[in-house]
Structure 1
């Protein structure tokens, strides 16, 4: 077997040159031959839009496109169809290689629960922001007499008051009863007609009102002392402390008026 001579400087340089040339050839073959072939270089697939697609559909759909998937997260979406795709990565329209794995966020079947917040005495706007931050929904606003304008007086779910801390599902609608800013400044006048005088006086004073002018009237068909008319009329709105005038059958009894 003939051996390459390395006795001279020229032979040594020649051998080094041959080794370097072979190394360069191997590197070029690896990067421009084997590597592109093994990684399908230049062959890409456009990622389809998988949103709203069910898990049952995904398997065959992605297999036909040489793609795979993995569920990386789950979330609850109010009104969303359970076990369907909510989000994906890479995004639809991206170009990926064959066999690429698509990571999916799936809509949960059951809504998570959380403690009901305490919205009492907050403004309706603050309560709305807090509900939204927790994934709850503001429902109807009902106004009741209260000096605190838009102050939350009650928090309701399905028509029932819900105490703070009670477990409630995400996406639940919460109705609020809030103040109208006026309070009970005005209220309906009590109906004292057809009562006797003493009963009428008690009803008027019991409502936080005063007995005003007592007008005597003759009415042979009514018993003496019966109230047959009043002003303001029954159910007419009146302010606290105002007076109610009454028309009473019979003469004025000074002692009764003084009581």
Structure 2
């Protein structure tokens, strides 16, 4: 029997039709199973958790069949209460599947502590740029008799002297004691 006769025979055509029907039926069954197992079309709406406490956020997520995942938080935001949510992913209003993890960034208890650099005998200009780079704020400038004009003689925080290596919160106000260029 030649190949052309075999391809046009009834036995071969029946086999092809059976194979096509089997593929269609199996595809239909697989798609129905996927729809049921993945809850196709069923979504949960992500609530807005910004500014809420961690306990309240956890309750809201459980009510919406979502899972809370806390991410490391290093950026303190004074506009929000301590340990409240300052950011979330996915964003509020997003449609997600049930039991999806919602990543929350919490507001820490305060600014992180930063080491005070050694600025004694440095110029005011250098001290100012160094402190501002570390996100400290320059407070009161006090001048005392010293031959070095605008040379840093000491640092103070809230009236108390501070030493290099002390830790202060970011954005702390540091007062500088400077020389006025006059002999003592």
What TM bracket, shorter-length normalisation?
Answer: 0.7 to 0.9
Bigger-Rg structure (1/2): 1
Q: How far is 1:9 from its partner?
A: 4.3
Query: Which has a greater percent of strand?
Result: 1
* 1:65-84 superposed matches below 5 A: 65-75=64-74, 77=76, 79=78, 80-84=80-84
Q: Secondary structure at the match of 2:139?
A: strand
**Per-residue CA shift, 1:57-100, capped at 9, x if unaligned?**
12221122222211122335264533221221112232322322
Q: Distance in 1 between the 2:153 and 2:93 partners? A: 51
Q: Distance in 1 between the 2:77 and 2:158 partners? A: 17
Are the aligned partners of 2:116 and 2:168 in contact in 1 as well (CA < 8 Å)?
Answer: no
Q: Secondary structure at the match of 1:74?
A: coil
* 1:170-189 superposed matches below 5 A: 170-171=169-170, 173-177=172-176, 179=178, 183-184=181-182
Are the aligned partners of 2:112 and 2:170 in contact in 1 as well (CA < 8 Å)?
Answer: no
Query: Which has a greater percent of helix?
Result: 2
Q: How far is 1:10 from its partner?
A: 2.7
Q: Distance in 2 between the 1:115 and 1:177 partners? A: 16
Check 1:157–1:143 CA distance in 2 against 1; reply closer, same or farther (3 A cut).
Answer: closer
Q: Secondary structure at the match of 2:99?
A: coil
Q: Give every structure 1 segment of 4 or more consecutive aligned residues whose post-TM-superposition deviation is greater than 6 Å.
A: none
TM-score of the superposed pair, with normalisation by structure 1: 0.55
Q: Distance in 1 between the 2:172 and 2:36 partners? A: 57
Is structure 2 residue 129 aligned with structure 1 residue 126? Answer: yes
Are the aligned partners of 2:69 and 2:104 in contact in 1 as well (CA < 8 Å)?
Answer: yes
Q: How far is 1:18 from its partner?
A: 0.9
Considering only aligned residues, what root-mean-square deviation do their CA atoms show, in Å? 3.1
Check 1:12–1:26 CA distance in 2 against 1; reply closer, same or farther (3 A cut).
Answer: same
- Unpaired segments ≥5 residues, structure 2: 1-7
TM-score of the superposed pair, with normalisation by structure 2: 0.73
Q: Distance in 1 between the 2:168 and 2:30 partners? A: 58
Are the aligned partners of 2:134 and 2:170 in contact in 1 as well (CA < 8 Å)?
Answer: no
Are the aligned partners of 1:47 and 1:92 in contact in 2 as well (CA < 8 Å)?
Answer: yes
Partner of 2:19: 19
Q: Distance in 1 between the 2:157 and 2:174 partners? A: 6
